[in-house]
Amino acid sequence: MESSSSRHSRPEIIIWEITRRCNFSCTHCIVDADGRGGGQAELDTEEAVALLRRLADLGVRSVFFSGGEPFLRQDLPELMRRGHEIAPFTFSAVSNGSVLTAEMLRQVKRLGLKTIQISLDGATSEESSRLRKGPPRAFEKAVKAIRLCHEVGLPVSVGMFLHPGNIGSIPRVVDLVAREGVSLLRFSGFVPLGRGALPEVQESMRYELEQMVGFFRDVAAHDPVSTGVTLAFDHAFGPTDDCFQCTAGERSFYLSAEGDVYPCPSFLHPDYRIGNVRQTDLDSLWQDPRMRDFRVPVEQIRGHCSGCPDLAACRGGCRGVTYAYTGDVRESFPNCLRRYRRYLAEQAPDLLDDPPPRPGGGSLLEVLGSCYEEHARRLDQALSTHPLSYLLWQSTLRCNLRCGHCAVPAEGSAAGLEMDTRQVQTMLEKFANDFEVSRIGALAISGGEPTLRADLVEIVARASALGFRVGLDSNGLLLGRRPELLDRLMDAGLALPCLSYDGLEATHDSSRGVPCHEWVVKALEHFARRYPQTPLQTVTVVTRRNLPELPRILSRLESLGVGLARFATVVPMGRAPQDPENFLRPEELRRMLRWIARQRAQAAEGRWRIVAEFSCDGWCGRALHAEGLEGLVRENIHLCPAGVTMATVYSDGRMGACLSMPDELSVQGNVLEEDPGAIWERGYRRYRDRSRYHRDECASCAEWRYCRGGAMHNRGPHGELLDCTWRRLEASAPEELEQA
């Protein structure tokens, strides 16, 4: 007979209002937090520890501390310490920043706090304090808290509550966040709960038409490349994210300071109070039908949502926010930015288009031209300053597959050699000492196959402790066979998983040389089910064999919960040149890139939840040309990062530029013999002085100013041009372009 605990998927994430006490009294607070705390007594230390045991038994592994102000709870470090004795919990938190100290942050980081979000509602003290009523100099204290997080190596983001009094200050807030070295700015929207339910507060949250027009202009004009800041939106403003998925009652729930359980913080209404952990078993609360009865079929949703082309993807947005506004989960979502944007486009197009969202003119060609000029400026800056922002570690040459397109040489000076655990840890510590880790966007662990290293979990944990945002490129075979290894890697701090997926079953297995499609699918399914809040990526190596399957590949990956699918062409190294079917003809390359551009445009319209992207294979030509696609096939305009913003550490400790290049051209030194900072400053001249490549056909090419020689792996030992993506696109037959 089926047990009660198996009737529904087990929760993985808890949002825990660890205290309702707060040294702020914000006008919009959904829990009515203040200095008194309110309500009945919050769970004490022993009750909270007992609850952690019950959460562990239920399957929860991720705990997000909210409040009130979580760091006003004196026993928070003790709860984290004892929590880790119970289960491998991952902790994160949100804070107003006013009570944080370096000592406190170091302590909670040691105890497992992975990330923290600091609230900051404006670019000045006056702006930030309009609704966020706090102690004197609260704005300055929040900024100081951000700097302290950097000081102790704790990843930090900024949360901004948008309202009519600050929605016009987004560009200045982005500038502030960028200056403070923060890479993520998350916007939250108003929900009429707590103090926000007061009629006068609700009335004060109404936007004027001109404010929303300005908001869309500011968001459209934002450039994450030049600022280094990514903008994100929470569920109250949804659905803005193509991958929007509600996890409430399926993989997550909310717990109040007094032990009350709700499906999520947007359902803090008596109708959706499931019960209290002091009176009812937690498993029974999780099984309660009210935990998920708001998930109405989309055909039952009334109003403007019913006729929306995005309804199948977003399923009506956040039902909790809808209920807070309307009292009915079948009503349309009230705060849909896409609906607002469509309304403005239909009713007031001139307001949106004049002035244009980006400087430099109103037409698409003028906007693109402005983007390319800005790209050229940033390229000059990157070549002259070469800030290290991406680190790739080839963890091993060993592999459990034999892919026909593998670019790793079968033999070479590094064959069979790899650093031991202590050498790898020393290497990471050297990078952390020589560079500001918070400025390094990712440490990507590659191979061979990294999961063949027995010490991989230990190394990921050490890298994460040093402040690196750790990524993993894997073929997925072992992760699918041993999902507990994936869980251990996630618990250790893995943040950016990327699995290889080269086609439907027969094509994938033929490409990989071993039957493994089943296992990479299992790995993707396990990850999407257990870690829905972490972005999941795949990479597909495109050959003549799987090119016809690309639309079906993308659909399959979307069904598996993948958010970003990257597509790459084959590098002519290692085993790859042995099979001419590995390499696309010019018209086939063009067909693939046109398909990616179409998919990205459709994803921007909300027709896909997954986004396709062309990898860093080469410059695709400005879209000002009929054949050009640069700026349309990937998030950022192409800049080959090898030796400019990216460094590679080989399995044996040598430090180079890129794995897609022969060792004799890539290697610049050895981190076992010299500090990486010294190698980075002394070497890499080949990659930073692009004037040496301005010759032959490049000298007369109109794209030179923007591509600056293109991808460095397409250059020979003397700088000669071996291949050019743009030149291949120009060579595409006109009839093939029409058919594409």
pLDDT, position 509? 92
- At residue 4, the pLDDT reads 35
Residue 611 in contact with residue 600, Cβ under 8 Å? yes
pLDDT at 242: 47
Rounded percentage of the chain residues whose pLDDT exceeds 70: 90
How far is the C-alpha of 512 from the C-alpha of 567, rounded, in Å?
A: 16
DSSP calls for 571-622: PS-TTGGG-GGGS--HHHHHHHHHHHHHHHHHHHTTS-SSEEEE-SS----B
Amino acid at the residue 90: T
112 vs 272: CA distance, rounded Å: 32
Region 34-59: mean pLDDT is: 88
pLDDT value, residue 682:
94
Q: Would you say 92 and 116 are in contact if contact means Cβ atoms under 8 Å apart?
A: yes
Of 738 and 289, which is predicted with more confidence?
289
Does position 133 have pLDDT exceeding 90, yes or no?
no
Instruction: Describe the crossing of helices 138-152 and 102-110 by its angle, rounded to 10 degrees.
Output: 50
Q: What is the pLDDT of residues 418-454, one digit of tens each?
A: 999 999 999 999 999 999 887 888 899 999 999 999 9
Question: Three-state DSSP class for 123?
Answer: coil
pLDDT at 107 over 90: yes
Cβ-proximal residues to 283 (8 Å cutoff; 6+ apart), any chain: 4, 5, 54, 57, 58
Cβ contact 76:65 at 8 Å: yes
By mean pLDDT, which of 42-56, 312-326, 354-368, 439-453 is the weakest? 354-368
Q: Evaluate the CA torsion angle 277, 278, 284, 285 in order and state its sign.
A: negative
Q: Is the pLDDT of residue 225 over 70?
A: no
Q: Whose structure tokens read 């190394």?
A: 459
Angle between helices 517-530 and 505-512 (to 10 degrees): 110
What pLDDT band is residue 350 in, cutting at 50, 70 and 90? low
Region 73-96: mean pLDDT is 93
Average pLDDT of every residue of the chain: 86
d(CA 36, CA 409): 66
Among 256, 189, 273, CA closest to 21: 256
DSSP line for 141-170 = HHHHHHHHHHHHT--EEEEEE--TTTGGGH
Q: pLDDT, tens digit, for every residue of 649-669?
A: 999 999 999 999 988 999 999
pLDDT of residue 415: 46
pLDDT at 587 over 60: yes
In the structure encoding, which two tokens stand for residue 601, read together?
């445009």
| Tens-digit pLDDT profile for residues 676-725 | 999 999 999 999 999 999 998 899 898 999 999 999 999 988 889 988 99
Q: How far apart are CA 163 and CA 125, in angstroms?
A: 16
Residue 224 has pLDDT above 80, yes or no: no
> What does the pLDDT read at residue 219?
80
pLDDT at residue 355 in the model: 33
Buried b (16+ CB within 10 A) or exposed e, 654-670: bbbbbbbbeeebbbbbb
Cα–Cα distance for residue pair 267/263, rounded to 1 Å: 6
Across residues 586-614, what is the average pLDDT?
86
Assess whether pLDDT exceeds 80 at residue 599.
yes
pLDDT at 489 over 80: yes
Say if CB 184 and CB 229 are below 8 A apart.
yes
pLDDT confidence of residue 239? 52
Question: What SS3 class is residue 695?
Answer: coil
The pLDDT confidence band at residue 206, using thresholds 50, 70 and 90, is confident
Specify the pLDDT at position 358.
Answer: 33
Residue 352's pLDDT is what?
47
| CA distance linking residue 515 with residue 511, whole number of Å | 10
Residue 235 CA neighbour count, 13 Å, CB half: 21
Residue linked to tokens 């829990």? 31
CA 20 – CA 42 distance, rounded (Å): 8
Which of 147-156, 283-292, 373-382, 719-728 is predicted least confidently? 373-382
Mean pLDDT is lowest, of 166-180, 197-211, 235-249, 327-341, for 235-249
For residue 412, pLDDT beyond 50:
no
Residue 455 pLDDT > 80, yes or no? yes
